[in-house]
Amino acid sequence: MPLSAERAIDRVECTHCGLDVPIALRVEGSAEAFCCAACRTVHAAIHAGGLEAFYRLRADDERRQAVVSGRSYLPFDEPAFHARHVTEAADGTRRARLYLEGVHCGACVWLVERLPQVLDGVCVARLDLRRQVVELAWRPERVALSRIAATLDGLGYPAHPWAEERRDALRRHEQRTQLIRIGVAGACAGNAMLIAFALYGGALEGMDPLYRSFFRGLSAGLTLVALLWPGRVFLRGALSSVRTGVLHMDLPVAIALTAGTAWGIANTVRGVGEVYFESMTAVIFLLLVGRWVQSRQQRTAQDAVSLLFSLTPATALRRAADGADEEVAVESLAIGDRVRVRAGDEVPVDGVLVDGASDLDLSLLTGESAPIAVAVGDAVHAGTRNLSAPIVVEARATGARTRAGQLMQQVERFARERPPLVRLADRVAHNFVIVVIALALATAAMWWPVGADTAIERAITLLIVTCPCALGLATPLALLAAIGRAAERGILIKGGEVLERLSRPGRLWIDKTGTLTRGELRLTDWRGDAELGPLIVALEREVRHPVARALVAHFGDAHGAPAAVERSHAEPGCGVEGLVDGRSVRIGHPQWVGERSSAPRWARRMTAAIEGRARSPIWVAVDGRVRGVASMGDTLRPEAHDALGRLRRLGWEISILSGDRRAVVDAIARDLDVGVERAQSEATPEEKVAQVRRSGSARARRPIFGRDRSIVMVGDGVNDAAALAAADVGVAVHGGAPASLSAADVFLRREGLEPLIELVAGSRRVVDVIRRNVGISIGYNVVAGTLAIAGLIDPMIAAILMPFSSLTVVACSYRSRTFGEER
């Protein structure tokens, strides 16, 4: 194809990130080109700091488009902020931790840690790559924290306060304690095993009783250390299990360990019978490893959550009595304040527009896909975005009292109320405890006629060999492996139970704007002269309105000489007009363009047809004549139809839940074969919650392997946040509002519906892996338990079976492909 060949030659790479540079942003004769303003800013900042080595350090596959918030970090200097997040060291420096967006590779570590060279007054900057947290120390008399944060922002790492300071310290302590326990238990187990080999040899070939007692005595010592230091957690767990009456895996473990150790020591002293010291130390070690894996998985999940609650306080421009604007934290705004909202900014308060006129993007608050024109006297809401011109808003409600704020409070409430899932492993554990203890008693009773010694030994052997090492590893390992793999694929999962819930197909509510559709205006249809392209691009390039962006995106690649704009004027809510190459051009709403231009009959007919399909028509007039008509709409994602089909085949019932107008939603439902009766339109956030809760009212919690259906909500906006929190599983999609992120259990970082399918299919595979793991470990316990009851087991067989079953489970968890490309 000649066209694509031509494009390949034409391709210009962004100097910073390597993405294609759109034609509109190319500069003739310049060695540098940038795909976006953020990349340009970051590139300039890196040069200004003399940090070009960054580009050498970075591997090609680590290039990413830059993110720069360009926000003011002034709230970082306020005393309230310092009281919460900043500590003062003895040498007069201040210390704080900031979470950095955009940190992802080794070169980022280098760049961030060069901060002391770039900014005078910064003493230390140390980055933790995995958690994306930088530890800063600086001299307050030489540099302000806001300046440091702004510099990091300029380098492409927008900074947020790390809200988890205190819990962090606790957690670090907990993590270290766990690691020490594992180390000690591992050393004891290894040495006990070495000594056991000598004992096995002695059992086969004969051994002087003196040496036998010596070896047994030493391993008894090792076991005592393992039991009383790292093994204490099980004893404590068993005690609380007895006290609270909740059967817990720790109970049989503690009984087996104490009884086994006591019996082994007695046998050692008496010089008779068998000892199981090596198996018991191995049990302690393996169970601790299982526990560590589980808490690691929970930590990853907690990090994801706490991060979302630590988003930076936003600022607003308050208009003072003398008419000047001052930048203040949004929290300090009061009712009656006048706030200036620039084009592109988010409205910070609920209020009334008192000056200016513009278009607002309501999509995140209401789900409405088309921008709304507002003028003086209109009500505006926090959480909407001002698109075309600056406006002044008088606040009527602020903070938690705004509509968006109330929604967020609901989100928190639902998140608290969500009933906990009885996890597969817990259900198994409950029954396991009862069965094992009953079997041990039965074994003792059965062998009692043969002799008290034999009976007690058999019962204790049973308890030791059925210690649930593999069972303790079965679930956490599978979940940790899956969550890690999912994260690599751009699917962030906040906890293991989410996967268990998602494995049970039920009803899936899906938001329309931004989820099924792209969430942005696109040109869906065009009729007019081809030569208009350069004129349109020239005029609309500088306009920030979504219609302008859609037009530039469509015509940006058009061929032809670029046109020169002599003058232009944007009329908020109407369109833009200007003089391009000596011709007067008007682009905008048909009524406004029609005021000064004549429209041919085909244009009027097409306009009526576009409106009939619930899309927005745009007229392009040149020299007083309408020469082109464009249809603007939020278009369906190309993969949406297929994706819903595959979800249905996986057993999910699909319904659409949207805040957009009926005509738009119904048209999309028809396109997707969802059925208009399953598509709810014009739903307020409260109605969305009600719908989700109603469908979940049949939710039952059954004790064992319950097959109850899950209610899942997929969405992206503030209007979805409460519904996300109310559902069994809330899934936030790429590009969503921060509010929806904090309410969701899963965040899909990749665009489109593909990751949603991967998530659902992957969850099912994870639960299969868990079931298989549980099956393996129970199977092992049945075999080992039977042998123990029959008296056919000896310490060597027990010592071989124990790690073998655990290794099988480990191998199964890491070999199985849960997330990734479909095979």
Residues of this chain that interact with another protein (CB under 8 A) are: 53, 56-57, 105-106, 109-110, 113-114, 126-130, 172, 175-176, 179-180, 183-184, 187, 190-191, 195, 208, 211, 214, 218, 222
Nearer to another protein, 53 or 434 (CB): 53
Closest distance of CB 132 from another protein, Å = 10
* Cβ neighbours of residue 124 closer than 8 Å, sequence gap 6 or more: 116, 135, 136, 137
Pairing mode of beta strands 507-510, 653-657: parallel
Nearer to another protein, 57 or 137 (CB): 57
CB-CB neighbours of 559 under 10 Å? 10
Angle subtended by helix axes 452-465 and 754-790, to nearest 10: 170
The residues facing 632 across adjacent strands are: 523, 616
Identify the helix (H) or strand (E) that includes residue 263: helix 250-270
Angle subtended by helix axes 718-726 and 685-695, to nearest 10: 20
Closest distance of CB 477 from another protein, Å = 19
Nearer to another protein, 105 or 437 (CB): 105
Catalytic residue among 250, 359, 361, 511: 511
Nearer to another protein, 213 or 454 (CB): 213
- Dihedrals φ, ψ of 540, to 5°? -90, -10
* Cβ neighbours of residue 417 closer than 8 Å, sequence gap 6 or more: none
Nearer to another protein, 217 or 675 (CB): 217
- Dihedrals φ, ψ of 338, to 5°? -100, 130
Nearer to another protein, 191 or 366 (CB): 191
Burial of 429 (0-12, 13-18, 19+ CB in 10 A): buried
Rounded to an integer, what is the distance from CA 568 to the centroid of its chain? 43
- Dihedrals φ, ψ of 474, to 5°? -55, -55
How far apart are the C-alpha atoms of 260 and 265, rounded to whole Å?
A: 8
Nearer to another protein, 292 or 448 (CB): 292
Cβ atoms of residues 251 and 772 within 8 Å: no
Q: 674-679, long-range: CB within 8 Å, 24+ apart, which pairs?
A: 674/644, 678/654, 679/655
Closest distance of CB 544 from another protein, Å = 39
Closest distance of CB 96 from another protein, Å = 18
Closest distance of CB 458 from another protein, Å = 31
The residues facing 264 across adjacent strands are: none
Closest distance of CB 223 from another protein, Å = 13
Per the annotation, the verdict on 581 as an active-site residue is no
Closest distance of CB 211 from another protein, Å = 7
Closest distance of CB 130 from another protein, Å = 5
Nearer to another protein, 218 or 311 (CB): 218
Pairing mode of beta strands 517-528, 625-636: antiparallel
Nearer to another protein, 96 or 188 (CB): 188
Q: How far is CA 399 from CA 162, 350, 502, 718, in A?
A: 21, 9, 34, 14
Closest distance of CB 66 from another protein, Å = 20
Amino acid identity of residue 565, one-letter, is V
The torsion of the CA quartet 184, 187, 189, 192, rounded to 10 degrees, works out to -130
How far apart are the C-alpha atoms of 575 and 387, rounded to whole Å?
A: 12
Q: Which residues are catalytic?
A: 511
